[in-house]
Chain A
Amino acid sequence: KAGVTQTPRYLIKTRGQQVTLSCSPISGHRSVSWYQQTPGQGLQFLFEYFSETQRNKGNFPGRFSGRQFSNSRSEMNVSTLELGDSALYLCASRPTGTGLGETQYFGPGTRLLVL
């Protein structure tokens, strides 16, 4: 099976702009989670989608939003970009997120630089 893919891999934006990142999970996986990773920081959970519904949400402002499509692909949007939004954005998928002991697989990430 193909792994989790993310596009684009690199992105440069300026403050105030908005950005949309895309994630395609492993075939058959219906749960997609998004994380923000900044230098020296861990994996900060943004949100999780399952069957087109946001199931869990981390502690991020409303500028961060997402959605999931019927084919389980997910997009993440950040509006009114700030310098502090520069980070590696990782998505991860697992089969359902409700089963016990489901392994979560990460995509390669999108590196966002806000100037």
Chain B
Amino acid sequence: GENVEQHPSTLSVQEGDSAVIKCTYSDSASNYFPWYKQELGKRPQLIIDIRSNVGEKKDQRIAVTLNKTAKHFSLHITETQPEDSAVYFCAASSARQLTFGSGTQLTVLP
């Protein structure tokens, strides 16, 4: 089955700096890669996703890149703000299985 590895497990950045979270997947059949943000005590919320026919996608300060050949994808957050502090999960989906990474605790220091 699919295996998704996520790094780093914790990440601290200064407010205004950029943050990058990386994930690798094992199943070449995976073709959909969502990212979720989970604030303390709340449900995971989809923040951005990318499909395998696209190499990069941006939404304001958030971007995701996908390298199908290397089987890795990354989340980039620019101009980080304190409200970006949360746990971020990547996931990889084939036709029937959605597999999550282990999560990254992002802390934005004021």
Contacts and interface: CB of A to CB of B under 8 A. Distances in A.
B43 A108 contact: yes
B70 interface: no
Interface residues of B, number: 23
Q: Is the interface of B mostly helix, strand, loop or mixed?
A: strand
A33 interface: yes
B96 A104 contact: no
**Chain A: number of interface residues, binned into ranges:** 20 to 34
A98 B101 CA distance: 20
Interface in B26-64: 31-32, 34, 36, 42-46, 49, 51
Q: Is the interface of A mostly helix, strand, loop or mixed?
A: loop
Interface in B76-110: 89, 91, 93, 95-103
Contacts of B99: 45
A100 B99 CA distance: 14
A66 interface: no
A43 B49 CA distance: 18
Given A42-B89, A42-B101, A43-B100, A105 B31 contact: no
B103 A103 contact: no
Interface of B: 31-32, 34, 36, 42-46, 49, 51, 89, 91, 93, 95-103
10 contacts: A33-B98, A42-B101, A90-B43, A100-B32, A101-B31, A101-B93, A103-B49, A106-B36, A107-B43, A108-B42
